[in-house]
Amino acid sequence: MNILTRNPLILPVYVPTLLLSLCKGIIIPILPLYAKSFDISYALVGVILAAEGIGSIIGDLPTSVVLNKLGRKNAMILGVLTVTLSTLALFFAPSVMVVILLRLIGGIGASIWNISRHAYITTVTSPHQRGRTLAIFGGVNRIGTFLGPALGGILAATYTLRTPFLAFGAIALLAALVAALAVERSDEPVKISSKGHIHHITEIFRTHYRILCTAGIGQLCAQTIRSGRTVIVPLYAADVLGLGIDEVGYIVSISGFVDMFLFPVAGFIMDRFGRKFAMIPCFAIQAVGMACIPLAGGYYELLLATCLIGIGNGLGSGTMMTLGADLAPKENMGEFLSFWRFIGDGGYMGGPMIVGQVADIVGLSPAAFVIAGIGLTASGIFLFL
């Protein structure tokens, strides 16, 4: 109880986040291969994987209205349940179009969950503790990324490619239950001008457009390399190296293991030296690791490349959320974070689509180099701007 009292985020935020990150980890190595099982092109695989990001983009700006109408607690629960049911339904999906629709719905749910959770964390933390708090948050996410892929690979190899979606549904429902019981209700209204919500959102963008167009572009590139790796690694492993789905799961899990152990370092660096001292090496190292993937000729070479990516990503644990929380104005926090998430989700959507298009035209290896270049661009933006 003392631990729970000292850290009020454990039950309402960290536990549901851990459970949902485990769910996400379970399907990381599965989704690209599940999409490919419909006998479609890499470009369409990219669309399927990007559909969640597109759904998030659709949901990001309206989420501030949901927060105002429902409050943070109800919004968090609604988001979790939407993600849960839409992903569980992938087990029964009969066609590519149904898969894309379900992924879009899941993205909208993820947007509601992520922004309401981000607003909750920003409200209950002080700036001098924010780096460590959000680094822990990022670390909790990475625990699921470490444990989930191996479990997903084993389930898919033992049963079918669709079985991991059932595991996702069961664990995610538990996360929704924990959030419903642990999150404190807070229905503070958002002040909106008499001209309406759209005018209110527009005014906030006009006020903060310089920040959103500089730091925002950095985040766009950052999320592109992060989402691009989840597509390239499973497809390169299966289609180029001919590895089994269980081996793909092990590679992603081991990379997640390396990633997971660096979140305390990321939090210390952000709060002690500054945010950019974590962000710049994060995306530069990821870019180098991504560029090493086309050089991998077997299981262990690919594992080394993905572990290097894991080191880079671990150094950036919680950096984008911390930066967004730092920049968010107190009086319009929900709307600003909606914009911030909207930009990041553009990168989350863009990564798979870039990989798919480039891979269809010139192959998976050049696609890895393109994503690596985008990662270096992110590092450069945070260095110079």
User: Do residues 178 and 299 make contact, with C-beta atoms less than 8 angstroms apart?
Assistant: no
pLDDT score at 288: 97
Most confident segment among 178-187, 261-270, 319-328, 376-385: 376-385
- Read off the pLDDT of residues 95-126 as tens digits, 9 standing for 90 and up: 999 999 999 999 999 999 888 888 777 777 77
What sections of the chain are H helices per DSSP?
Answer: 2-6, 15-27, 31-36, 42-88, 96-124, 127-158, 163-182, 197-235, 245-260, 263-272, 276-292, 299-315, 319-327, 333-362, 364-384
Of the candidate ranges 191-200, 273-282, 305-314, 341-350, the one whose mean pLDDT is the lowest: 191-200
Of 94 and 341, the one with more pLDDT: 94
User: Quick check: 1 pLDDT over 60?
Assistant: no
Q: For residues 175 and 334, what is the distance between their CA atoms, to the nearest angstrom?
A: 23
From 3-7, 87-91, 160-164, 349-353, the region with the lowest mean pLDDT? 3-7
- How confident is the model over 371-382, as pLDDT tens digits? 999 999 999 999
213-245 pLDDT tens trace: 888 899 999 999 999 998 999 999 999 999 999
Q: What is the pLDDT at residue 200?
A: 61
Least trusted range by pLDDT, from 35-39, 121-125, 137-141, 353-357 = 121-125
**pLDDT surpasses 70 at 266:** yes
Here the tokens at position 309 are 């990516």
Prediction pTM value: 0.81
User: Where does the pLDDT of residue 42 fall: very low under 50, low under 70, confident under 90, or very high at 90 and above?
Assistant: very high
How far is Cα 223 from Cα 352, in angstroms, rounded to an integer? 11
Average pLDDT over residues 132-145: 80
Instruction: Point out the least confidently predicted range of 58-62, 168-172, 225-229.
Output: 58-62
